[in-house]
Amino acid sequence: MSFNTNTWNRLRYTLYLPIYDLVADRIFRRYRKRSIELLQAKPDDTILIVGAGTGLDLPYLQSYTRITANDITPGMITKLKSRAEKLGVPFEAHVMNGQQMTYADYSFDAVILHLIIAVIPDPVACIREVERVLKPGGTVIVFDKFLPDGQQPSLLRRLFNQVASTLFSDVNRSIGTIVGHTSLQVELNEPAAFGGTFRIVRLRKVA
Ligand SMILES: C[S@@+](CC[C@H](N)C(=O)[O-])C[C@H]1O[C@@H](n2cnc3c(N)ncnc32)[C@H](O)[C@@H]1O
């Protein structure tokens, strides 16, 4: 049984909003920067951020002009808009479910998935949507915590995950298994925060 639903996430992220940046900014700052560098987007590329939160990625996207962001929590989008205005980053933002996006097929050159694949209730639905809206040859950058591919979580870890996935994020997801439901190719998978528990993974949609 899972408590990880869109309704629950909308509620808890509304509650976390006042302290979100205190927790998620400083410790992940250098990995966000590294991840966006590895995206290797061109200045006029169309870029989508799924589950964009308060917009902590925006300081590293100031040289891009065609950014779209979405999140299921309305309060997150309000905070993201005010950050973008302060930074002068032009963008569009939508309250939207990352598992069922309303963008047309082949809309984006690049997609950013930072700290969303381990949070969203159905990561396979999300990555399939990302594949759908990505242009052929486009890239996806993922930054998140993953169980190593092929590793089975222990009973203790599965029990702990009941709490972790409800209050923070799932600790038992494997990026290879999730991406395996698409035809996206893994181009790079490098260790990031907490001794490599967090990874930066670049995916490409074959042209
Ligand atoms: C851990 S935060 C990450 C935010 C941001 N990407 C960052 O790096 O700081 C997870 C975000 O995912 C959003 N979220 C959860 N479920 C979602 C869904 N189904 N569709 C879109 N966003 C979702 C939450 O509202 C929250 O803002």
- Tens digit of pLDDT for each residue in 17-29? 999 999 899 999 9
* Cβ atoms 146, 172 nearer than 8 A: no
Mean pLDDT of 32-40: 97
pLDDT at 196: 83
157, exposed or middle or buried, with CB in 10 Å at 0-12, 13-18, 19+? middle
115 lines ligand 1 (CB under 6 A): yes
CATH code for the domain defined by 6-204: 3.40.50.150
Q: Is 24 in the pocket of ligand 1 (CB under 6 A)?
A: yes
In the DSSP assignment, the letter for residue 148 is: P
The residue ranges of every structural domain in the chain are 6-204
CA 97 to ligand 1 centroid distance, Å: 10
Reported as a single tens digit per residue, the pLDDT across 53-99 is 999 999 999 999 999 999 999 999 999 999 999 999 889 999 999 99
The residues with which 191 forms a beta bridge, in sequence order, are 199
Separation between Cα atoms, residue 94 and residue 74, nearest integer Å: 9
Outline where DSSP puts E strands in 6-107. Answer: 46-50, 66-71, 91-95
Hey, which of 54, 68, 103, 116 would you mutate to test ligand 1's pocket, going by the most ligand atoms within 8 Å of its Cβ? 116
User: Which atom of ligand 1 is found nearest the CA of 32?
Assistant: 8
Instruction: Give pTM, 2 decimals.
Output: 0.96
